Amino acid sequence: MYYVVLDLEWNSSYSLKSKSFINEIIEIGAVMIDSDFEVIETFSTIIKAQLGKRLTNRVKALTNISNEDIRGGVPFSKAFADFERWLGDRDVVIMSWGDSDVRVLSDNFLYFNNDERVPFLKKYLDMQKYFQHYYGLPSSKQIGLISAAALSGIDASEYSSHRALEDSLLELRCIKKIFNEEKIASFIQVCDENFYKKLKFKVHNITNLRDPHIDRSLMQCNCQNCNKPMQRLSEWKCVNQAFRALFYCRECSNMGLFTIKFRQHFDRVDTHSFFVKLEAPDEFPESG
Ligand SMILES: [Zn+2]
């Protein structure tokens, strides 16, 4: 088995065809590793932009890639055909830091090549997910590459950040430190229909109170003072994509607004809730 760390740089370009912005890939960087995690070969290509002839200032500053560079780049189809040839017929796990690279990859293959699937993407591993699991970091907060390097005791300043190949080499170092073939195996995803469904799923906040994914048992508030269940005094109201209601404690007269947000992911719902105590009854005009 081989592992390939893939890192892409992209530029937000406006498409007249789809009348929307798309993240157009402008650079591919990749490192191929054998099953002992030793580097075999690297791959690096700048892609000739078809949509955005000019890079946004942000991308220019971030990557140091110039407009001249992308004008002289390799066209998308040829660049990825070269990449596929570079992979050869090896049994390869493609790895990236977070899944946004594969999401952009999939969008670009659909847009430029009319491919529903990325042909060389057969097995995938999200290194960020593995890294966070290894260090016991919460999945709700995603760790960036620079922070991950710092946590691993790696000096990221040796790498010119936000260039595809340099980033992939740095990602590789972060993962190599915690590489365990058995552990990592359970993070490898087969790129089947379900994988793409999950990839294209848009995470969103639930704003309809009747949504069946809402766990109503969580829409209850216990008093911070006496820990007794509080009584809801108002109807639920959707405010800033969260649900809010007025709660009152009969035991100790504690009163306040309880807010709960349900965030729908592909296979789970995350909740976030908080309580704001109200001191005097005239502070809550919604109570009536
Ligand atoms: Zn109470």
pLDDT tens digits, 157-199: 888 778 899 999 999 999 999 998 889 999 999 999 999 999 9
pTM: 0.77
Q: Cα of 207 to ligand 1 centre, how many Å?
A: 29
Residue 16, pLDDT score: 86
Q: Cα of 271 to ligand 1 centre, how many Å?
A: 23
Q: Cα of 246 to ligand 1 centre, how many Å?
A: 14
Nearest to 189 by CA among 270, 281, 272, 96: 96
**Look-up of token digits 């190599």:** 176
Q: How confident is the chain (288 residues) per 10-residue block, as mean pLDDT?
A: 95 87 94 91 94 82 83 94 96 95 96 94 96 90 91 88 88 92 93 94 94 96 95 97 97 96 94 91 52
Collect residues with CB below 5 Å from ion ligand 1: 223, 225-226, 249, 251-252, 254
Residue 287, pLDDT score: 46
Q: Cα of 248 to ligand 1 centre, how many Å?
A: 8
- Render the burial of 207-242: b for 16+ CB within 10 Å, e for the rest: eeeeeeebeeeebebebeeeeeebeeeeeeeeeeeb
Residue 218, pLDDT score: 96
Q: Cα of 284 to ligand 1 centre, how many Å?
A: 18
Q: Strand pairing of 188-190 and 92-96?
A: unpaired
Residue 107, pLDDT score: 94
Residue 53, pLDDT score: 76
Q: Strand pairing of 204-205 and 231-232?
A: unpaired
Q: Cα of 133 to ligand 1 centre, how many Å?
A: 38
Alpha-carbon dihedral of residues 72, 76, 82, 86, nearest 10 degrees?
Answer: 110
